[in-house]
Amino acid sequence: MTGQFITIEGVEGAGKSTQVAFIKQRLEEQGKQVVMTREPGGTDISEQIRSLLLTPMANPMAIDTELLLMFAGRAEHVEKVIRPALERGDWVICDRFTDASFAYQGGGRGVSRERIKALADWTLKGLKPDLTFLFDLSVELGLKRVIARKNGVDRFEQEKVDFFERIRQSYLESAELEPNRIKVIDSSQSIEHTQQQLTMHLKTLF
């Protein structure tokens, strides 16, 4: 028996981190063994790559370097954490996965979907989420939330508004392409309203 793979996506400030624990709780109430993880990150090596990717730098990182680092961390993560957990029958919740690369490096940086897909096919060997929650809200509101909750911003969060607008549009385009997998969650309102939407979609898994 294999477990289910759930990923969480969204623009900055969409409230993903707040809701991951809620999703975990709902799954555990159904008797599921749950593994929570994140990208970039998830293993010792992938967390070191995360630090490289998120730490602000005086000189911009090359776009290809950013993309390849993302998938290097992802390959390690899948090999060491995600695939073994699913093969045990555990359910995996991952904060960001390949959809984020299509949004950030694709929509945000302008890398073609074909190039990203080629890397995904090579590194993931067919692995794909069973269900993805896309937390959506306006870029303006999301960035306000980021500024309110943090003393500083990471390398991505310091980008300009149009960068995040392209990311949001790319995410929504992905949701249109795969509506059965990617469920758009309106996260512009209260936490309770967001959790009601999540509960409705989680019920379909049981």
Query: pLDDT in tens for each of the 206 residues of the chain?
Result: 578 999 999 988 888 888 999 999 999 999 999 999 999 999 999 999 999 999 988 888 999 999 999 999 999 999 999 999 999 999 999 999 999 999 999 999 999 999 999 999 999 999 999 999 999 999 999 888 887 776 677 888 888 899 999 999 999 999 999 999 999 999 998 999 999 999 999 988 87
Domain containing residue 123: CATH number: 3.40.50.300
Q: What's the pLDDT score for residue 150?
A: 66
User: Of 185, 163, 69, 45, which is closest to residue 107 (Cα–Cα)?
Assistant: 163
Per-residue burial over 82-113, b = 16 or more CB atoms within 10 Å of its CB, e = otherwise? bbebbeeebbbbbbbbbbbbbbbbbbbbebeb
Confidence at residue 1, expressed as pLDDT on a 0 to 100 scale? 55
**Nearest CA-CA partner of 14 in 134, 173, 119, 109:** 134
The whole-number pLDDT of residue 147 equals 79
| Number of folded domains that form the chain | 1
Bin 49: left if φ > 0, else alpha if -120 < ψ < 50, else beta: alpha
The pLDDT, as a whole number, for residue 135 is 96
Segments forming the whole domain that contains residue 126:
5-205
Supply the pLDDT for residue 205: 82
Residue 125, Cβ neighbours under 10 Å: how many? Answer: 11
- One-letter amino acid identity for 49? I
Distances (CA, A) of 99 to 71, 106, 109: 12, 10, 14
> Which of 142, 201, 191, 175 is CA-nearest to residue 6?
201
**In the numeric block, which tokens belong to residue 150?**
């943090």
